[in-house]
């Protein structure tokens, strides 16, 4: 049997023969950490705060104009009184709340899907597209999106549908107000170009006056061809250009 080799660690001896204490390594100075860019800090802050955005649309039912959506992240430290479903507020109150939301919200974004996109995709898918644009356009990254209604668009964060959310969730109410005021302003401007339809009165909905105008003047380029009353008018009048509409008014 071969002999065992035992290894012992022996402290080195000094000149006098005494043992010398082992050297203790000096701690190295740590290099200063490079500060994170502001965008990364904002993202970490968003995750820590568990930011929630409210999302709503206005304009699914009208015969003309885009569908407009908004996404809003409210600031808990700057509450806004009187938020409610935009349909239950007067135009004057909506306008006042619009300014407060724009000033006090942590982030907001207003987006839309055009008449051409509505006719191409159908109104449901165009609305989902506009909601995606609103959420993705926010300057802060939400961790949860609360969507008014019973359907959610495809989003990279968690999303939940809230039936009648514009009357239950303040952030959705705020989104409803931004979308409503924005779309109403658009239709008032459209009325200046096409006064024969009365867009300033019905903002594109199929009222008796609007339907009568379609029968008399045919559709404008801002009408949705995929909606039955407009499609029927197109079959009678054909697609009208802006110049032809100007001559017929």
pLDDT, residue 13, reads 47
With b for 16 or more beta-carbon neighbours within 10 A and e for fewer, the 53-89 pattern comes to bbbbbbbeebbbbbbbbbbbbbeeeeebeebbbbeeb
Mind giving me the DSSP string for 46-89? HHHHT-EEEEEEE-SS-SBS-EEEEEEE--TTS--TT---GGGS
Give residue-wise pLDDT tens across range 218-229: 999 999 999 999
pLDDT, residue 26, reads 54
175 and 56 in one domain?
yes
User: Where residue 235 falls among pLDDT bands split at 50, 70, 90?
Assistant: confident
86 and 181 in one domain?
yes
Q: Is 148 marked as binding a ligand?
A: yes
Tokens linked to 6 = 């035992």
177 and 115 in one domain?
yes
Residue 15 within a domain:
no
Residue 227 within a domain:
yes
Question: Which tops the pLDDT comparison, 15 or 116?
Answer: 116
216 and 118 in one domain?
no
Enclosing domain of residue 224: 208-247
Residue 42 within a domain:
no
Greatest alpha-carbon pair distance for the chain in Å reads 118
Q: Is 103 marked as binding a ligand?
A: no
167 and 231 in one domain?
no
pLDDT, residue 236, reads 86
pLDDT at 124 over 90: yes
Give residue-wise pLDDT tens across range 52-95: 999 999 999 999 999 999 999 999 999 999 999 999 999 999 99
pLDDT, residue 241, reads 42
Tokens linked to 144 = 């949860």
Give residue-wise pLDDT tens across range 22-61: 454 554 545 444 554 554 445 444 444 689 999 999 999 9
218 and 174 in one domain?
no
Residue 212 within a domain:
yes
pLDDT at 9 over 90: no
Q: Is 184 marked as binding a ligand?
A: no
Contact 109, 137 (CB under 8 A): yes
């Amino acid at each position: 049997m071969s002999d065992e080799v035992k290894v012992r660690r022996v402290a080195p001896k000094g000149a006098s023969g005494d043992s010398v204490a082992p050297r203790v390594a000096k701690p190295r100075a740590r290099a200063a950490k490079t500060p994170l860019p502001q965008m990364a800090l904002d993202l970490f802050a968003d995750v820590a705060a568990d930011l929630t955005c409210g999302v709503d649309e206005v304009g699914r039912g009208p015969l003309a104009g885009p569908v407009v959506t908004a996404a809003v992240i409210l600031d808990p430290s700057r509450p806004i009184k009187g938020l409610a479903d935009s349909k239950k507020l007067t135009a004057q109150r909506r306008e006042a709340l619009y300014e407060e939301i724009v000033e006090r919200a942590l982030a907001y974004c207003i987006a839309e899907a055009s008449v051409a996109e509505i006719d191409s995709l159908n109104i449901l898918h165009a609305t989902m597209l506009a909601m995606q644009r609103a959420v993705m356009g926010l300057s802060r990254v939400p961790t949860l999106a609360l969507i008014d209604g019973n359907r959610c668009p495809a989003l990279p964060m968690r999303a939940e549908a809230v039936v009648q959310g514009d009357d239950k969730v303040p952030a959705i109410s705020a989104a409803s107000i931004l979308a409503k005021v924005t779309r109403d302003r658009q239709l008032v401007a459209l009325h200046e170009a096409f006064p024969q339809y009365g867009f300033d009165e019905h903002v594109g909905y199929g009222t008796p006056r609007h339907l009568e105008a379609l029968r008399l003047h045919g559709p404008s380029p801002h009408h949705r061809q995929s909606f039955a009353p407009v499609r029927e008018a197109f079959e009678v009048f054909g697609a009208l250009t802006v110049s032809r509409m100007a001559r017929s008014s």
